[in-house]
Structure 1
C-alpha cells in the first residue's frame, strides 16, 4: 500500500513540473510592458522557435521560403497587423466571457512582445478589426468594433469603439464614437477616419485621442465640379488632408484636385478613386476621346497622396460589367511596389503591368507583394481573400520579368512579410487559426 502511495506522489510531482514547464514555454508573462496582466485565461499556445533552429508545422509554401525553421502561434485572430518599421506583428486572442486581448510577436525571432489588457468590445461575438496607422512619425496598432450597449431600461446606443496601442511599448488609448449604421474605417493616416460610406465623417487623432466631426458641407468642393457633389464619398486621410471623391473626379480637402494632376492622354474630368494604401492612391481614368483605345481601355494610375502627382500608369480593358467593389491596393514593406487585383506597379522602376488576355479577360488576382520583387496570388480566385484562404491555383509573379509561375496546387500564400519572414495562416481541424512565420531561403 505504501509503495502505491509513493508511486502516486511521484506521478503527481512529474505532472506538476510538466505543467510548470508548459506555462513557461507558452508565454506566461509578457516580455515587455504596456498593458498590464489582462487576466482571465491561459495565454495562446506559441511554438517559439528561433529562425536558426527547430521545426514548426510544415505547410506547402512557395520555394522562396524554408519550412525547416520558424515560429508558430496557435489560436490567433484571422486578421493581423504589421509594423514594418519595428518588425512587430499584432494579433488578437479570444479569452473567456467574450473578451479579447492584443498580443505582439517579433517576426524575425518569434519572440513574444508586449500584450494589452483584456477588454470586451461592443460586438463581443466577432473578433474586432485590426490595422496599423502612422501619425507624426509614430505607429499604432488599432483595433475597432461596432455595436450597441444598453441596460434594458433605456434604448440601446450604437458606437464605434477604438483601442490605439503605441507599437513600441503598448501604451493604450480608448475612444468611443457614437455612430449609427455600419461604419467604414480608414487607417491610411495620419488620423483614423470613420465614415458612413458617403460624405459624413469623424476623425480620430491616434496621438491625442481627439475626435472631430466633419459634415458634407465642410468638404470644400472644388469649383466647377458638379460631379463632385454626386455620390460623394470620404476615402480616408492623407498627409495633405482628407481624400474625397464624387461620381467623377476627386480631391484633397484644402489641397490638390484630380483635374489638375490628371495623367497625360486622359479625360481630365474622369478620375475615380478605387483604393488607398498609406501614401498612395490608385485611381482609374477614361482615356482621351481621340485615343485609339478610348472605347475599350482605361488607364490605371498610382498617385502620390501628398501632391496628387501621377507616379506610374498602365492601360487595361474596360470590364464588361462594372465591379461592385474594386480590388484593394497592397504595398510592399518598403513601399516600392504595389498590387491590386490583376494590376502590378513597380514604383521604383516606374513600370506597371496589367495581367489580361488580348480579349480583355483576366483570371489572376494578386494578394501579397514582398521586397524581393515577388508577388503572390492565384488564378481563378474571386479576390485576394479567397486566394489567401487557399482558393484558386496559386502563382508567384516576378516583377523582373512580369511573368507568373505556377506553384504547387495546395501551396499556401504568405498573408504578409516583414523582416524577411513570410507569415502564413491556416485553420486546423479544431477550427483554430495558426500563424506560422517561415524565413526566406538563403
Structure 2
C-alpha cells in the first residue's frame, strides 16, 4: 500500500508540473515584455507552434497545409510585416479604447516584443498599421487622425504616429497638427503625410524630425504645364519625393517621367496609380499612331530610384474611370507585382493583363509570393473583398499566366513570409483570427 501511495504521489506531481508548464507556455509574453513596453497582458487566446499540432482548420490553397500552424485570436483587421526579420505586427484592443502593438515570429508562432498601451485620438477605430524602411532599418508605424480639445480650430486636429523599431520595439511618438483628412504613405525612407494634393509633411522615422513642403517647393519640371494641374504628392522614393500632375510625374530633384517613358507610350501621358516600396506603377496612353491607341493603355512598373521601366503590358481602357486604382502589392523578394487584374514578373521583364476579349475583367488579385503564385478572386470588387472570402477564389501561375479555380470556400493568404502564409478570418463573436499555415513544400 505504501508503494502504491508513493506511486500515486509521483504521478500527481508529474501531472501538476505538466499543468504548470502548460500555463506558463500559454500565457504572458515569452520575451518578458520586450522593447519599452510593460504591464500585464492578457495574451492571445490561442497560440500553437507549427510543430505542436492542429489549429483552427480553414480551407486553403493546396500550397499550404492546415494540419499545423499558429493562431492568434482578437487581433486588428490590419497587419504589417517585416520580410527582413519575419516579424508580423498586429494591434490588440484593450479596455477603454486603448490599443497595444504586438509582434509574432511568423516562422515559429512565438510572440515577440510588445509596445505600451495607448489611446489614439480617434478611439472608435483601429489605428492604421504599416511598415517603413529607412536605409537598413525597418519600423512598424501606427497612425490615426483625430481631435484634441473642443475641435473648434484647425490646430485642434492632428495626426498621431507611433514608430517602433522592428528589432526591439523601441518607440517614439510623433504628433503632427493637421487640418482635414490626411493621406499617409510609408513607401519610405520617410513617412509622408499629405493633404491629397501638393502640400505635405515628412517624418523621419529614425529621429522623428518633421519637415514641411508646400506646393511651390516641388520643383516642377520645365515645359510641363500639366504638372501644375491636379498636383498630388504620391509618396517618397530613395531618390526623393514622388509627385504627379494631371499628366506626367517626377521625383523632386530627380528623374522626370517624360525622360523614362516606356517603349510605345505617349511620352507626355504618364500617370502614377500606385507606389509599393521601390516600385512605381504608372498608366500611359499609347503613342498616337499605335494601332490600339483608341482602345488600350500601357501599364508599366518603374524602378522608383531611377524611373527605369521594368515591365509593361497593354490593357483595355475602362469604360468608366475608377475613383481609385488598385494598390500595387509586391512579393517579399520584390520580383513579382500585382494590382487588380494586372500581374508582373519583374525579373523576367514581363506583364500580363487578365481580361476578356471585349475588355471586361472580373479578377482582383490580392497576394503574390516569391515562387510566382498570386491569389485573388473572380467577381470580387477588390483585393479586400477577395481576402474577406468574397468572389470565386483563384490562383494565378506566373510561369504560364494561367488561372486555376480553388475550392469555393478557400481562404486566401493575406501575406506570405518565411514560408508561412498568414490567413485572416472573423468568427461569430466578431473576433479577428490570424492563422499561420506553413507551405507544403
What TM-score does the superposition give when structure 1 sets the normalisation length?
Answer: 0.93
Alpha-carbon distance, 1:271 to partner: 0.1
User: In the TM superposition, what whole-angstrom CA distance separates every residue of 1:318-354 from its partner, at most 9, and x where no partner exists?
Assistant: 0011111101100000000000000000001111100
What corresponds to 1:434 in structure 2? 433
SS in 2 for 1:414: coil
Cα gap change, 1:237 to 1:155, in 2 (>3 Å): closer
Counterparts of residues 354-373 of structure 1 (less than 5 Å)? 354-373=353-372
Within a 5 Å distance, the mapping from 1:66-81 to structure 2 comes to 66-81=65-80
Say yes or no: does 1:278 pair with 2:277: yes
1:46 alignment partner, SS class: coil
CA contact (8 A) 2:61 2:411 kept: yes
Taking a change above 3 Å as real, the CA distance of residues 358 and 166 of structure 1, as seen in their structure-2 partners, is: same
Q: 1:121 to 1:30 in 2, by over 3 A?
A: farther
After the TM superposition, which residues 61-210 of structure 1 pair with which residues of structure 2 at under 5 Å, given as runs? 61-150=60-149, 157-210=156-209
Q: What's 2:257 paired with?
A: 258
Aligned residue for 1:387, secondary structure, equals helix
Measured in 1, the distance between the counterparts of 2:192 and 2:395 equals 34
* Per-residue deviation, 1:155: 8.9
* C-alpha distance in structure 1 between counterparts of 2:22 and 2:153, whole Å: 47
Aligned length: 425
Q: 1:105 to 1:247 in 2, by over 3 A?
A: same
Indicate conservation of the 8 Å contact 1:27/1:46, yes or no: no
User: What CA RMSD, in Å, does the superposition of the two structures yield over aligned residues?
Assistant: 1.8
Residue in 1 that maps onto 2:288 = 289
What secondary structure is seen at the aligned counterpart in 1 of 2:24? helix
Contact 1:100 1:119 in 2 (8 A): yes
Where do 5+ consecutive residues of structure 1 fail to align? 1-15
- Say whether the 8 Å CA contact 2:240–2:251 is kept in structure 1: yes
Say which SS state the counterpart of residue 315 (structure 1) adopts. Answer: strand
| C-alpha separation in 2, matches of 1:175 and 1:296 | 47
**Residues 349-388 of structure 1: pairs in structure 2 closer than 5 A:** 349-388=348-387
Matched residues in 2 for 1:154 and 1:353: separation?
A: 50
Structure 1 residues 192 and 426: alpha-carbon distance in aligned structure 2, compared to 1, 3 A threshold: same
1:138 and 1:153 map into 2 onto residues whose CA distance is 39
Counterpart position of 2:3: none
Shift of 1:151: 6.3
Match of 1:10 in 2: none
Q: 1:294-313 residue pairs with structure 2 within 5 A?
A: 294-313=293-312
Structure 2 Cα separation of the partners of residues 386 and 417 of structure 1? 18
Deviation digits for residues 300-328 of structure 1, max 9, x if unmatched?
Answer: 00000100001100000000111111011
Task: Give, in whole Å, the separation in 1 of the partners of 2:403 and 2:316.
Answer: 20
SS at match of 2:284: strand
Q: Distance in 2 between matches of 1:347 and 1:251?
A: 21
CA distance in 2, matches of 1:156, 1:244: 26
Equivalent residue number for residue 29 of structure 1 = 29
Whole-angstrom distance in 2 between the partners of 1:307 and 1:38: 47
Change (3 A) 1:155 1:184: closer
Task: Give 1:232 shift.
Answer: 0.3
1:27 Cα shift? 3.7
CA distance in 2, matches of 1:78, 1:154: 32
- The equivalent residue for 2:13 is none
Deviation at 1:120, TM superposition (A): 0.5
The equivalent of 1:235 in structure 2 is 234
| TM-superposed deviation, 1:197 | 0.3
**TM-aligned CA deviation for residue 153 of structure 1:** 10
Distance 1:343 1:424, change over 3 A: same
Q: CA deviation at 1:211?
A: 0.6
Change (3 A) 1:97 1:66: same
Contact 1:66 1:439 in 2 (8 A): yes
Which residue is equivalent to 1:5?
A: none
Runs of at least 4 residues off by over 6 Å:
16-22, 151-156
Is the CA contact (8 Å cut-off) linking 2:151 and 2:157 kept in structure 1?
Answer: no
